[in-house]
């Protein structure tokens, strides 16, 4: 389906976004490993997380789906069954990399496959440390690309210094470490999102953390616990930027995850001139709260170094903010963007240029010179959900129509995005604020 987008008149909105993708994956994994049953609420019913759910069902875990966002998972204490066929990870790097860690310790062979985009993504980053733990993982086609054949077996603990700041790598090793003899540690060059560490603690697994290093003792299993997934700040980011770039535009976001390893976007927008307020309401494993954003005429900034892992998924939409800010924004140290769902540096550069923006592309980043408004263009998603959504938001600030093609990929992380966009497009200056909530959940007894 193609999206047709025109210039927005205003944004004055109170919004809830669907559940966090990273946390939904991990909730299914930890509950599947638990010694008993867990209720997971606020699960993201996006295709990536459904791939994880189906993979665990194929491994013999009984997962009841009581509502689109409510799962009851009957954990197996980490004992899975050999799957009858391939485990299909779809578009999801998190599914494939984290599952590799778990399957490395299972006494059977499994085969992990993915779609065309995932089949191009590098897997050596998990194959190599897991091989050091004693696992045998074969990339079938090229040296390190999926499909992956995992020959599981007994594992030994390692002390791994990761060359990349990647939560997927860190999590794959820590999950494998639960099955290894002794203490497994991972150090990373900069802190990546720490959901695995926090959720281990919430589910009763002790993790030692010191600076950029996390360690887990083998033999531990999660306790059964109910868990609520917060709204995804990476999905909220599209609306946050839309509100932040125009004086007088306002957004209030409820029930959103405020994990500090994910909120780098807020600091960057504040530095650029937007007004951002955070209120944390609860912290049951993950901090959840409300955000208020007031727009302003933004100024250019530099985004680099240790800030990059914290905004790794927000860089496409931050590039759109930069395209509407005064001055030249520099994004550096972001070569990881070239191995996401598509080469995001190339995609951002070509799409912003098509919208009339002056962009210089570097091997690890971009220089983006902002302008007051953009030109409409026809832009392909390139099969990448975040490229589709970032440029749909850019279309709200274009003088002529913007068309986004290949938008089905958005269902991987944000089902319902286009419905919200249509409401924003129909909203008129002076009208009451738009209020958009997620479906209320029924009370359930297990
Ligand atoms: C994720 C980690 C990040 C992020 C991805 C989800 C996760 O990838 O880009 O969308 O859930 O652990 P890397 O850890 O490979 O940077």
Tell me which residue has tokens 């991990």.
26
Determine if ligand 1 sits within 6 Å of the CB of residue 22: yes
Q: Which of 138, 91, 145 lies closest to 111, judged by CA?
A: 138
Q: What pLDDT score was predicted for residue 85? A: 98
Q: What pLDDT score was predicted for residue 44? A: 98
Please tell me the distance between residue 376's alpha carbon and the centre of ligand 1 in angstroms: 31
For the question of whether the overall pTM of this predicted structure is more than 0.75, the answer is yes
- The structural architecture, per CATH, of the domain 3-19+231-436 is Alpha-beta prism (3.65)
Q: Which of 17, 55, 8 lies closest to 246, judged by CA?
A: 8
CATH superfamily entry for domain 21-228: Enolpyruvate transferase domain (3.65.10.10)
Determine if ligand 1 sits within 6 Å of the CB of residue 165: no
How far is 374 from 240, CA to CA, in rounded Å?
18
Q: What pLDDT score was predicted for residue 444? A: 57
Q: What pLDDT score was predicted for residue 31? A: 98
How far is 233 from 352, CA to CA, in rounded Å?
23
Q: Are 5 and 418 in contact (CB under 8 A)?
A: no
| Alpha-helix residue ranges (DSSP H) falling in 159-304 | 167-177, 195-202, 233-244, 264-272
* Residues ≥6 apart with Cβ < 8 Å to 358: 368, 369, 371
The catalytic position among 313, 343, 364, 384 is 313
Q: What 3-state DSSP class applies to 235?
A: helix
How far is 307 from 144, CA to CA, in rounded Å?
28
Does 313 participate in catalysis according to the annotation? yes
Q: Positive or negative CA dihedral for 236, 238, 244, 248?
A: negative
Domain map of the chain by residue range? 3-19+231-436, 21-228
Tell me which residue has tokens 């779609």.
115
Determine if ligand 1 sits within 6 Å of the CB of residue 168: yes
Q: Are 413 and 17 in contact (CB under 8 A)?
A: no
How does DSSP classify residue 231?
Answer: B
Q: What pLDDT score was predicted for residue 430? A: 87
* 10-residue mean pLDDT series, the chain (446 residues): 96 97 98 98 98 98 97 97 98 98 97 97 97 96 92 97 98 98 98 98 98 98 98 98 97 98 98 97 95 98 98 98 98 98 98 98 98 97 98 98 98 97 91 87 58
* Residues ≥6 apart with Cβ < 8 Å to 50: 90
Q: What pLDDT score was predicted for residue 143? A: 81
Q: Are 433 and 254 in contact (CB under 8 A)?
A: no
Q: Which of 435, 374, 412, 444 lies closest to 115, judged by CA?
A: 412
154: its two tokens = 């007994």
Q: What pLDDT score was predicted for residue 443? A: 57
Q: Are 292 and 277 in contact (CB under 8 A)?
A: yes
Tell me which residue has tokens 């485990």.
87
Burial 171-180 (b: 16+ CB within 10 A, else e): bbbbbbbbbb
Determine if ligand 1 sits within 6 Å of the CB of residue 215: no
How far is 293 from 315, CA to CA, in rounded Å?
18
Ligand 1 atom 4, closest CA: 313
Determine if ligand 1 sits within 6 Å of the CB of residue 155: no
Do 3-19+231-436 and 21-228 come out as alike in CATH topology? yes
Mutate to test the pocket of ligand 1, among 20, 28, 30, 94 (most ligand atoms within 8 A of CB): 94
């Amino acid at each position: 389906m193609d999206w047709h987008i025109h210039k927005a008149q205003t944004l004055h909105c109170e919004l809830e976004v669907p559940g966090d993708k990273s946390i939904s994956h991990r909730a299914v994994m930890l509950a599947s490993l638990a010694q008993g049953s867990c209720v997971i609420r606020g699960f993201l019913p996006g295709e990536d997380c459904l791939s994880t759910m189906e993979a665990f069902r194929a491994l013999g875990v009984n997962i009841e789906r009581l509502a689109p966002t409510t799962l009851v998972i009957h954990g197996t204490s980490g004992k899975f069954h050999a799957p009858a066929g391939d485990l299909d990870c779809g578009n999801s790097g998190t599914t494939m990399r984290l599952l590799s860690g778990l399957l490395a310790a299972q006494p059977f062979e499994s085969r992990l496959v993915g779609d065309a985009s995932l089949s191009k993504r590098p897997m050596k980053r998990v194959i190599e440390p897991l091989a050091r733990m004693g696992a045998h993982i074969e990339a079938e086609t090229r040296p390190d690309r999926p499909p992956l054949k995992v020959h599981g077996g007994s594992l030994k603990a390692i002390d791994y210094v990761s060359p990349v700041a990647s939560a997927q790598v860190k999590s794959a090793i820590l999950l494998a470490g639960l099955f290894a003899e002794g203490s497994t540690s991972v150090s990373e060059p900069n802190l990546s999102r720490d959901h695995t560490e926090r959720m281990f603690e919430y589910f009763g697994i002790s993790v030692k953390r010191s600076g950029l290093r996390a360690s887990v003792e083998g033999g531990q299993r999660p306790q059964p616990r109910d868990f609520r997934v917060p709204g995804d700040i990476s999905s909220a980011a599209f609306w946050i930027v839309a509100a932040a770039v125009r004086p007088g535009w306002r957004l209030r976001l409820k029930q959103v995850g405020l994990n500090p390893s994910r909120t780098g976007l807020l600091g960057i927008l504040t530095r650029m001139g937007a007004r951002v307020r955070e209120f944390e309401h609860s912290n049951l494993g993950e901090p959840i709260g409300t955000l208020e954003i007031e727009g302003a005429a933004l100024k250019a900034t530099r985004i680099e170094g240790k800030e990059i892992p914290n905004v790794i998924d927000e860089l496409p939409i931050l590039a759109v903010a930069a395209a509407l800010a005064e001055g030249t924004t520099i994004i550096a140290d972001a070569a990881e963007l070239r191995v996401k769902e598509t080469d995001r540096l190339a995609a951002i550069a070509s799409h912003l240029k098509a919208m009339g923006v002056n962009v210089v592309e570097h091997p690890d980043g971009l220089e983006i010179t902002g302008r007051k408004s953009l030109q409409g263009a026809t832009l392909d998603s390139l099969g990448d959900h975040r490229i589709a959504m970032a440029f749909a938001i850019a279309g709200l600030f274009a003088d002529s129509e913007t068309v986004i093609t290949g938008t089905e990929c958005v269902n991987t992380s944000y089902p319902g995005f286009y419905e919200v966009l249509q409401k924003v497009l129909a909203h008129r200056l002076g009208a009451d604020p738009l209020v958009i909530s997620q479906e209320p959940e029924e009370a359930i007894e297990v």
